Chain A
């Protein structure tokens, strides 16, 4: 089907609204701030990709929507509004059981470890149907087989009785997706859904997720560090760095008109943009220590374009377009004009040229 336009998405209702979320962890007597005041509105029916490196907080951020934070973690402040309830205030498992699966379901990264090896595949999918869709016995089994068929498992009657070890990696990921979809959720969170898979299988799984999105009317959040996956599936992209969303925009805006220096750096380091025989662009330094309080822009120490104010005050969001905003002082009217790096320009030019060729 045709990808939804960004206008359609911005006109859809907000299904999940996160505001100023702060999440802290206690680790070895120290306090780590994993999420530092992140805000995000998720719109119904969209595919939002959250991009970031390991440790940027993208998984923690999403786990907090399902009450899956580790025992030493807590939501310090902020709100997560879903259907009029503030999930940030949920404390007990009883509360969360109403959300998990039924409303928000998750597809985990590694299909080799996220299935129960001692139960048949059919039973594992059926379990979530019985739990969430009030069906039992034959009716549940019938629906299970239908869903297995939907996720592209051929001969589902026979496969129903098989165990996970009889499935290949790509097929197991399909089963994991079937389990999530069987809960009949509104929001599906896919945490690195294709990282453990081969490129050819990866493409198939992404196609499958897009088909399921249409059929089951899903809103999908993709968590990933793979910008190729993002380009394929995302309507909108949120870039995370050090526990905050530093840039948010439509896929086109973030790829072809990125504004935050971190987004520039992230895109520049793609091997697809490298020139043979020369060094690939790489980001100098390391991500900040989240045990310490971060002053100013968290990316400033690694940012060759950093301004003085970047080390003093945290930048607010500056609006680039109604759908595109970034947290960087470079967008302040008073800031000196900084051109994006060469590679980013090259990417823009290549895209312009390609567009002309098509017309």
Chain B
């Protein structure tokens, strides 16, 4: 998609998420800001423990924000909100989870799993109408309507992930947070699910926040990518710009580690190790800021580093 006439759907401003209590405090997300435009796929990449999932969960209001704001279509959605707004957001922002083996209720039939969101909001009208909606949702994700009467254990991993997608779609969301939706799947099934997500985006005009650690997949589907390290976003740019001109040393080390399907390249590849001490030695005197190094390309850097990044 082109980002020329971009309309901001979601704004995250100086978001901070903490876990624990006063005595034992852990800052999972620290001063993170980014915008997501309507209709785009925004990739959020980082290693485990970097806080990428926590950001997704803060947006869907599972983890409360300690400070900072999350703004959806011009309205603040972090902190206290009215009950009506809560219902509205529950419908409009939906989530797809990582492990399709663990995220479906084993004791419920597909019909119930897919309708659970509808039951909560009681917005489906008649029972007949609900059945129709379930049928349509299953068809949308490439499953047969008769699967509604079956249990999750009767399905393969790829099919289960489709059920997970169907239950998000039935709510007719605008923003879908996909948390590692394909990392538990096999290569060939992975391709099917990626294609499905792309097709649904086109058909329904969805916006995705795609959380993942696999950069080769993220590169393929994302319009823009943010790289997160230890709770801070270190770099954000359009996908191909990020790959062509990575600035932050952590981004470089991540990119260097992407596996290539080529034995000759792979055997000779050098991995750049990210050592914060080596690169950011003057941060105590000269702390980094979130700056726009070139149009649309943001990086966390201090003045010295920014100069170095730009001169390359």
Q: Name A residues whose Cβ lies closer than 8 Å to a Cβ of B.
A: 3, 53-54, 169, 198-204, 207, 225-232, 234, 251-252, 255, 265-267, 269-274, 276, 279-283, 286, 347, 351, 354-355
CB distance from A152 to the nearest CB of B (A): 13
A236 → B minimal CB distance (Å):
11
Q: How far apart sit A82 and B61, CA to CA, in the bound complex (Å)?
A: 58
Which one of A169, A273, A282, A351 contacts B264 once the chains associate, using CB atoms below 8 Å?
A351
In the bound complex, residues from chain A placing their C-beta under 8 Å from that of B257 are: 199-200, 202-203
From known contacts A54-B186, A198-B213, A200-B253, infer whether A255 and B259 are also in contact, taking CB-CB under 8 Å. no
B188 pairs with A269, CB closer than 8 A: yes
B187 contact from A203, A266, A351, Cβ within 8 A? A266
What are 9 A-B residue pairs whose CB atoms fall within 8 Å in the complex? A226-B259, A227-B261, A228-B259, A232-B266, A269-B187, A270-B216, A270-B261, A272-B220, A274-B220
Q: Provide the residues of chain A in CB contact with B266, threshold 8 Å.
A: 228, 231-232
Task: Please determine whether A280 and B191 come into contact, CB atoms closer than 8 angstroms.
Answer: yes
Q: How far is the CA of A283 from the CA of B192 in the complex (A)?
A: 8
Q: Is the interface of A mostly helix, strand, loop or mixed?
A: helix
Instruction: Report yes or no: B188 in contact with A266, Cβ–Cβ below 8 A.
Output: yes
The minimal Cβ–Cβ distance linking A317 to chain B, given in whole angstroms, is 22
For the complex of A and B, 5 pairs with smallest distance between CB atoms: A228-B259, A282-B191, A251-B263, A231-B266, A198-B47
Tell me, yes or no, whether B260 is within 8 Å of chain A by CB.
yes
* A198 with B187: CB separation less than 8 A: no
On whether A269 and B190 interact (CB within 8 A), knowing A200-B271, A279-B198, the answer reads yes
Contact for A351 among B191, B215, B262, CB less than 8 A: B262
Q: Whole-angstrom distance between the alpha carbons of A204 and B264 in the complex?
A: 18
State whether B220 touches A280 (Cβ < 8 A). Answer: yes
What residues of B have a CB within 8 angstroms of the CB of A231 in the complex? 259-263, 265-267
- Chain B residues with Cβ below 8 Å from A251 are 263
Complex Cα spacing A272 to B216, Å: 6
* CB-based contact B262/A53 at 8 Å: no
Kindly provide the distance from the CB of A69 to the nearest chain B CB, expressed in whole angstroms.
22
With A271-B217, A276-B220 already in contact, the answer to whether A199 and B258 are too (CB < 8 A) is: yes
Given the complex of chains A and B, what is the CA–CA distance between A204 and B190 in angstroms? 25
Collect the chain B residues with CB atoms within 8 Å of residue A276's CB.
220
A355→B263 CA distance, assembly (Å): 13
A118 smallest CB distance to B (angstroms) = 24
B3 at the interface (CB under 8 A from A): no
Whether B267 pairs with A3 at a CB distance below 8 angstroms is yes
Given known A-B contacts A271-B191, A272-B216, A225 and B186 have beta carbons under 8 A apart: yes
Chain B residue nearest to A227 (CB atoms) is B261
| Cross-chain contact B188 with A265 (CB below 8 angstroms) | yes
CA distance A232 to B257 in the complex (A): 11
Chain A residue with the shortest CB-CB distance to B49: A168
What is the size category of the interface that chain B forms with chain A?
A: 35 or more
Residues B47 and A255 in contact, CB atoms below 8 Å apart: no
Which of A3, A229, A280 has its CB near the most chain B CB atoms (within 10 A)?
A280
Interface string of B167-199 (1 = CB under 8 A from A): 000000000000000000011111110110011
Contact residues of B between 233 and 280, Cβ < 8 Å to A: 253-254, 257-267, 269, 271, 274
A255 to B264, CA, bound (A): 10
B49 to chain A, nearest CB (A): 8
How far, in whole Å, are A73 and B152 apart by their CA atoms in the complex?
26
- Cα distance, A1 to B188, chains bound together (Å): 34
Please report the C-alpha to C-alpha distance between residue A267 and residue B188 in the assembled complex, in whole angstroms: 9
B215 with A199: CB separation less than 8 A: yes
Contact check: which of A200, A228, A271 meets B220 at CB < 8 Å?
A271
Tell yes or no: B219 within 8 A of A by CB. Answer: yes
A269 to B194, CA, bound (A): 11
Closest to A282 in B: B191
Provide the bound-state CA to CA distance between A8 and B48, in Å.
40
How many Å from the CB of A43 to the closest CB on chain B? 17
Query: Is the pair B261, A273 in contact by a Cβ cutoff of 8 Å?
Result: yes
In the bound complex, how far is the Cα of B131 from the Cα of A309, in angstroms? 45
In the bound complex, do residue B262 and residue A282 qualify as a contact, i.e. CB atoms below 8 Å apart?
A: no
- Considering the complex, give the chain A residue whose CB is closest to the CB of B182: A271
Name B274's closest neighbour in chain A (CB-CB): A200
User: Is A234 in contact with B263, judged by CB distance below 8 angstroms?
Assistant: yes
A286 to B158, CA, bound (A): 10
Shortest C-beta distance, B2 to chain A (Å), equals 11
* Docked pose: A274 CA to B274 CA in angstroms: 29
What's the minimum C-beta distance from A195 to chain B, rounded to whole angstroms?
9
Q: Flag whether B156 is at the interface (Cβ < 8 A).
A: yes
CB-CB under 8 A from B198, the residues of chain A are 279
Q: Which residues of A contact B48 (CB under 8 A)?
A: 169, 198
What's the Cα separation between A301 and B293 when bound, in Å? Answer: 53
Q: Which residues of B contact A265 (CB under 8 A)?
A: 188
| A266–B261 CA distance with the chains assembled, in angstroms | 11
Most chain B CB within 10 A, of A225, A270, A281, is at A270
A156 CB, nearest partner CB in chain B, Å: 21
Residues of A within 8 A of B217 (CB): 271
Contacts of B269 in A (CB 8 A): 232
Please give the distance in Å from A350's CB to the nearest CB on chain B. 8
Interchain CA distance A276-B191 in the complex, whole Å: 13
- B187 near A270 with CB under 8 A, answer yes
* Residues of chain A within 8 A of B265, CB atoms compared: 231, 354
B113 to chain A, nearest CB (A): 22
Chain B residues lying within 8 Å of A280, measured Cβ to Cβ, are: 191, 194-195, 220
